[in-house]
Amino acid sequence: MPGFNGLQRIRKTGAAVSVPLQCQTSSPVSRLASLSPSLSPPPPSQAASKHRKQTSVKHKKVKVVENDEDNSDEFARLPKKQKTAHLVTTEETQETPDIIRRYEMLLTSTKMITRITNGIEYLYQAARTLPRHVGVCVNYTYVLTEGLHREGEWTQDELELQDLTWSPWWEAFVYFDGISRHFPGLSDNIMELRQRPELVGHLARWMSSVAGKARGDDISRLKDKVVSLADLSDTSGLKAKSSRGFKHPETGRLLCPIKRLGEYDADPEKSEPQPFCRMVRDQKAGHARVRSADYPLFMYNMNEYVPGKLIPGFLKSTFLVDCTRVVFTGPSSTSGLDMSSKTKGKPPVCRALNMMSINFINIVYIAILARFCLNSQSDYQDRDIDFSNKDFMSNLMTISLKSEKWHEEICSWYTRQLFQRCSEDSDGDEGSGPSAHELLLAELAEEQEFENQNQKAPRAEAEKDSALADDNISEGHGEQNIGHGSLSRCDEDQDAEGSKSDEEVD
């Protein structure tokens, strides 16, 4: 199956486990609270209540009331319309982890200066990156609740029992891992968060709100550039987003389902308004419907597309790749934008996220943003007439689950397009010969070899002369030894003759 990040959290067990979709039977908060009696917030202790002060309240007539001896465990009643400046989810004791206290401060710190002062700005910035890791159609409340309920673990047995169709089970399995890995402190404090269901609910809603702001940032990057990236022949009136979508024949054609392209192009004169676009907008009985399962033209590379086949060219359009580049690697990396008037701006998202590859969630995320930038809606919405972004995402994720091979191929292809920028036939580029870099290295190697030979020649002659000198010295020593040997023999002969003469005399 495709290598989603959630696979890292599989826990192997011996027996198969049935997998009920618990999101359909109970609310997330109640399911967390029902895990055990200890998961509800602990009651305040009487000893601590004697020294506890009431939380500050923004109200003219409310003051902090010191507890007297008669009412040592009671607080002054607050008015019904109170505005607390601090979210209290549990008694603040020394046992509360620092990250939990930071989470609580994060929920009420709406200004950057406050977050910086409290040391929690890094949490806010981490939350802004979540849409690029998990996409836009995420039910944060369900994902966090289900993930904490399981303590961040899934078994191999229940994974094998799952149907390869995108469902709430897959949503929790894939998205909880992405959130916990990129939001600091979440994976290390699962048990603490399980004891604070109210905090988890607030944190999930806060994440959803911040994710919407991050999505808006990426839409702003794309919105004014999609017309240039699409390379349309008629761009009149498309500067205003309200004039796009099925209100304009060019953007309407990009949004037209690939299988109905022939029907769209049936009007050779492109009369205004275009018949297909008018039928989609009118929404009358029997009108042309553009649904989430009907993949639009802008997702296809028409040079690879084969009529009657839906796989060739799917998700490989130059327009979609350039949209991905605008968001992740910056506008200057695209093939269709004129960057002559480029101004300095923020570094690309890929540098901030330390991205070196593209995964399938990134591709789906960009496809949803690109479609919104092409339609006529002024504000982001989940639905556009008959088209649902959530259903669209579910369909694409199901395709990736069904074919691991296709999943890996499309992710590798996008990674090459964005970070390697190599051509598809790079492996078979023998006709152009060696590159300048290869020739330069060869020249350097040749010069180094020549220099080494020049250095070896004098050294070899010196070694030869030294060897000859050693030989001469050895020969001289040999002659001396021979002379000494002759003298010794002569002495021996003389001694022998002397002895013989003495014998004769006797």
Whole-number Å distance between alpha carbons of 96 and 90: 9
Q: How much is the pLDDT for 251?
A: 87
Whole-number Å distance between alpha carbons of 96 and 101: 7
Q: Which pLDDT band holds residue 506 (cuts at 50, 70, 90)? A: very low
What pLDDT digit, counting tens, does each position of 25-53 carry? 444 444 444 333 333 344 444 444 444 44
Whole-number Å distance between alpha carbons of 307 and 302: 10
Residues above pLDDT 90, as percent of the chain: 24
Average pLDDT over residues 308-312: 87
With 90 as the cut, is the pLDDT of residue 460 above it?
Answer: no
Q: How much is the pLDDT for 28?
A: 43
Please work out, in degrees rounded to the nearest 5, the angle formed at the alpha carbon of residue 369 by the alpha carbons of 365 and 370: 115
Inter-residue long-range contacts of 349-355, CB under 8 Å, 24+ positions, other chains counted: 349/132, 350/418, 350/419, 352/129, 353/129, 353/132, 355/328
- Would you kindly state where each structural domain of the chain is located, as residue ranges? 22-44+89-217, 226-337+349-423
Query: Which letter, b or e, does each residue of 324-360 get, where b requires 16 or more Cβ atoms within 10 Å of its Cβ?
Result: bbbbbbbbebbebbeeeeeeeeeebbbeeeebeebbb
More confident residue, 72 or 317: 317
**Residue entry with tokens 């308004």:** 273
Q: Which pLDDT band holds residue 12 (cuts at 50, 70, 90)? A: very low
With 50 as the cut, is the pLDDT of residue 412 above it?
Answer: yes
Packing angle of the helix pair 404-415, 360-374 (nearest 10 deg): 70
Q: Which pLDDT band holds residue 223 (cuts at 50, 70, 90)? A: confident
Whole-number Å distance between alpha carbons of 403 and 392: 17
| Backbone Cα Rg of the chain | 40
Output the six-digit token pair for 230: 């699409």
Neighbouring-strand partners of residue 10: 154
Amino acid identity, position 106: L
Q: Which pLDDT band holds residue 282 (cuts at 50, 70, 90)? A: confident
Q: How much is the pLDDT for 61?
A: 40
With 80 as the cut, is the pLDDT of residue 432 above it?
Answer: no
With 90 as the cut, is the pLDDT of residue 78 above it?
Answer: no
Q: SS in 3 state form for 259-317? A: HHHHHHCCCCCCCCCCHHHHHHHHCCCCCCCCCCCCCEHHHECCCCCCCCCCCCCECCC
Q: How much is the pLDDT for 425?
A: 43
What pLDDT digit, counting tens, does each position of 240-267 carry? 888 888 888 888 889 988 888 887 777 6
Output the CA torsion sign for 218, 219, 221, 227: positive
Whole-number Å distance between alpha carbons of 228 and 251: 12
Whole-number Å distance between alpha carbons of 393 and 368: 8
With 50 as the cut, is the pLDDT of residue 293 above it?
Answer: yes
Q: How much is the pLDDT for 155?
A: 87
Whole-number Å distance between alpha carbons of 437 and 294: 48
Please work out, in degrees rounded to the nearest 5, the angle formed at the alpha carbon of residue 153 by the alpha carbons of 151 and 159: 145
With 50 as the cut, is the pLDDT of residue 167 above it?
Answer: yes
Is the model's pTM score more than 0.85? no
Whole-number Å distance between alpha carbons of 439 and 445: 10
With 90 as the cut, is the pLDDT of residue 489 above it?
Answer: no
Average pLDDT over residues 345-354: 72
User: How far apart, in Å, are the Cα atoms of 227 and each of 251, 269, 331, 362, 371?
Assistant: 9, 22, 13, 21, 12
Q: Which pLDDT band holds residue 221 (cuts at 50, 70, 90)? A: confident
3-state secondary structure of 256: coil
Distance from the first to the final alpha carbon of the chain: 121
Whole-number Å distance between alpha carbons of 122 and 28: 27
Q: Which pLDDT band holds residue 458 (cuts at 50, 70, 90)? A: confident
**Helix, strand, coil tally for the chain in percent (to 5):** 60, 5, 40
With 50 as the cut, is the pLDDT of residue 400 above it?
Answer: yes
Q: Which pLDDT band holds residue 9 (cuts at 50, 70, 90)? A: very low
What pLDDT digit, counting tens, does each position of 355-388 carry? 888 999 999 999 999 999 998 888 898 888 888 9
Residues above pLDDT 70, as percent of the chain: 66
